[in-house]
Amino acid sequence: MKQIIFNLDVYFKCAGHCAGCFLSQQERNDSQFVPYVFQNDFFTYLSQLIQQKITPETELLIIGFGRGNILSAEEKDIILLAQLIKKLDVAFDVPKKFEISTSLIDKLPSQLQKAEILLKTSPNLYFNVVVNSEILSPSFWKIWRDFYQHNQKYRVQKSIIENGDILVLNINPDNLPDIEDLYQKLKIENKIIQSPINVAFFPYQRHIVEEDLKQLHQWIIYFDQTFKDTDVNYKNFLLQMKNFEIGQDVNTIKNYFQKNQQSYVFIDKYKNIKQGSLSIMGEIDYHRLKDKFDINVSIHEFLKLANRNKVCIECDYQKECLLSGAYLVALQNDKMKRKKYFFANQNMASNITVEHKKEKTAYCLNGYQALFQNYLK
Which of residues 227 and 368 has its CB atom nearest to ligand SF4 in the complex?
A: 368
Q: Decide if residue 19 touches ligand SF4 (CB under 6 A).
A: no
- Amino acid present at 338: R
Choice from 201, 330, 336, 337 touching ligand SF4 (CB under 6 A)? 330
What minimum distance in Å lies between the beta carbon of 240 and ligand SF4? 18
Cβ-based neighbours of 102, under 8 Å, separated by 6 or more: 69, 70, 71, 72, 111, 115, 127, 128, 129, 130
Which of residues 128 and 361 has its CB atom nearest to ligand SF4 in the complex?
A: 361
What does the radius of gyration of the chain's CA atoms come to, in whole angstroms? 21
Alpha helices in the chain (DSSP H): 25-28, 40-53, 75-91, 108-119, 138-157, 179-185, 210-226, 233-242, 250-262, 286-293, 299-308, 310-313, 318-323, 326-338, 369-376
Within 10 angstroms of residue 230's Cβ, the number of other Cβ atoms is 17
What minimum distance in Å lies between the beta carbon of 317 and ligand SF4? 5
Closest CA to 303 of 294, 315, 312: 312
Q: What's the CA gap between 17 and 170, in Å, rounded?
A: 10
Which of residues 105 and 299 has its CB atom nearest to ligand SF4 in the complex?
A: 299
Residues near ligand SF4 (CB under 6 A), total: 15
Classify residue 92 by burial, with Cβ atoms within 10 Å: 0-12, 13-18, 19+.
Answer: middle
Of 282-321, which residues contact ligand SF4 (CB under 6 A)? 306, 311-312, 315, 317-318, 321
DSSP-assigned letter for residue 244: S
Which of residues 108 and 221 has its CB atom nearest to ligand SF4 in the complex?
A: 221
Q: Decide if residue 221 touches ligand SF4 (CB under 6 A).
A: no
For residue 289, which phi and psi values (nearest 5 degrees)?
-60, -40
Which of residues 145 and 319 has its CB atom nearest to ligand SF4 in the complex?
A: 319
Q: Decide if residue 125 touches ligand SF4 (CB under 6 A).
A: no
Q: Which residues are 265's β-sheet partners?
A: 6
What minimum distance in Å lies between the beta carbon of 322 and ligand SF4? 8
Q: Decide if residue 365 touches ligand SF4 (CB under 6 A).
A: yes
Q: Decide if residue 368 touches ligand SF4 (CB under 6 A).
A: yes
Which of residues 104 and 365 has its CB atom nearest to ligand SF4 in the complex?
A: 365
Which of residues 54 and 253 has its CB atom nearest to ligand SF4 in the complex?
A: 253
Please give the residue ranges that form the binding site for ligand SF4 (CB under 6 A): 306, 311-312, 315, 317-318, 321, 326, 330, 364-366, 368-369, 372
